[in-house]
Amino acid sequence: MSSGDGQQSQALTKPTFSEVQASALVESVFGLKVSKIQPLPSYDDQNFHVCISRTKDTTDGPNEYVLKITNSESSKTPDLIEVQSHIIIFLRAAGFPTASVCRTKGDNITSLMSVDSGSEIKSYLVRLLTYLPGRPIAEIPISPQLLYEIGRVAAKLDKTLEKFHHPKLSSLHRENFIWNLKNVPLLEKYLYALGQNRNREMVEQVVQLFKDEVMTKLSHFRECINHGDLNDHNILIESSKSAFGDAVYQVSGILDFDDMSYGYYVFEVAITIMYMMIESKTPIQVGGHVLAGFESVVPLTPVERSALFLLVCSRFCQSLVLAAHSCQLYPENEEYLMITAKTGWKHLQQMFDMGQKAVEEIWFETAKSYESGISM
């Protein structure tokens, strides 16, 4: 979702390739002839949906791809992007519905493109991934069965990555990465984007509670690699009919591995709960179903569970504060950037009003009901 470390210069680092330039990239770097191309929404990179026309030499393979052009700041960390790309390949081999990473004509998985912008030369890392089928969760009425399935997939993904090895794996230790949940205190320098109001007071309270109650527990959490951005636009769904004729939804695609970093199992479930709340008409109920699915693979420890409420609140704060900040940099992107904000402030306020004990009771009781086979 965000490059994190280069927030101040973010507006200057986002690529601005035209559709014609992007088509030329696909042809020159990957050797594929473009028949149609259109931009996709993106936070601070540039993405294009690419359809290719087959020639006699390229009759096999997919016809649809996503061209990813990484912002110039993140393009300075090619090791990180290489590791993220290898994780996508690894997860696909392990049976996850991730994209295939296409190789360049020179048989690499990324290519560094230099562009003369007049005042300076900027470099952008370019990748091509296969386009995955399915609809984003944001477009589908979300059911307890689907929430459970998403929680289960999130835990399975992190658990599977315990077996991932790569010589540059240490690049996932992203110390000042603004989207890593352990860096919630870094939000303080972006609070100005909220102005002076009740929302800002709420965020200040959450940040303080995070410092007092979560930072002290970090050493007790179990570490793992986090996807870090399992939001309602990064999970794709396809439906099939059950034996009873009902629509049953399965996860058909997992997108956007750009926020991957070392974190903790409890971070992944907190982030997933927060994003699934955004689309729900009964947001407080969501956590228990996601938690039950997650814990069917990775049961949380008591200390991890005790931090869950604050971690969900903290992720709301990250998303809301950084969206407000980015809107000042990219006013033309406001509609995409403010997706979460439409309901996010309302949900955060509701969690605050109910309090930790009441929300936890709903989550934990719902999760417990799955153990006895009666989901609430």
Structure tokens at 300: 């949380």
Comparing 53-57, 93-97, 227-231, 338-342, the range with the smallest average pLDDT is 53-57
Per-residue pLDDT, 120: 83
Residues sharing a CB contact under 8 Å with residue 298, sequence separation 6 or more, in sequence order: 155, 158, 159, 265
Please say if the pLDDT value at position 4 is more than 50.
Answer: no
The chain-wide mean pLDDT, for the chain, equals: 90
Per-residue pLDDT, 13: 81
| Residues 148, 292 contacting (CB under 8 angstroms) | yes
Q: Which of 59, 27, 43, 52 lies closest to 126 in space, CA to CA? A: 27
Comparing 299-308, 321-330, 367-376, the range with the smallest average pLDDT is 367-376
How are the residues of the chain apportioned to helix, strand and coil, as percentages rounded to the nearest 5? 50, 15, 30
DSSP conformation class of 44: S
The CATH number assigned to the domain with range 135-372 reads 3.90.1200.10
Please say if the pLDDT value at position 375 is more than 80.
Answer: no
Dist CA 279 CA 316 (whole Å): 13
Average pLDDT over residues 63-78: 93
246 is an active site residue: no
Please say if the pLDDT value at position 282 is more than 50.
Answer: yes
Average pLDDT over residues 229-240: 91
Average pLDDT over residues 334-363: 88
Q: Kindly indicate the confidence band of residue 53, based on its pLDDT and cuts at 50, 70 and 90.
A: confident
- Helix 265-278 with 144-160: angle, nearest 10 deg: 150
Dist CA 169 CA 130 (whole Å): 24
User: Could you tell me how many residues make up the chain?
Assistant: 376
DSSP conformation class of 202: H
- 39 or 11, greater pLDDT: 39
- pLDDT > 90 fraction of the chain, expressed in percent and rounded: 74
Average pLDDT over residues 149-170: 97
Per-residue pLDDT, 2: 40
CATH 3.30.200.20 fits domain 19-130: yes
Q: Kindly indicate the confidence band of residue 9, based on its pLDDT and cuts at 50, 70 and 90.
A: very low
Dist CA 122 CA 113 (whole Å): 8
**Distances from the Cα of 271 to the Cαs of 13, 275, 293, 318, in angstroms?**
26, 6, 14, 10
Comparing 41-45, 132-136, 167-171, 253-257, the range with the smallest average pLDDT is 41-45
Average pLDDT over residues 123-146: 92
Predicted model pTM: 0.90
Question: Catalytic pick from 158, 229, 256, 258?
Answer: 229
Per-residue pLDDT, 6: 40
Cβ–Cβ contacts within 10 Å for residue 255, how many? 23
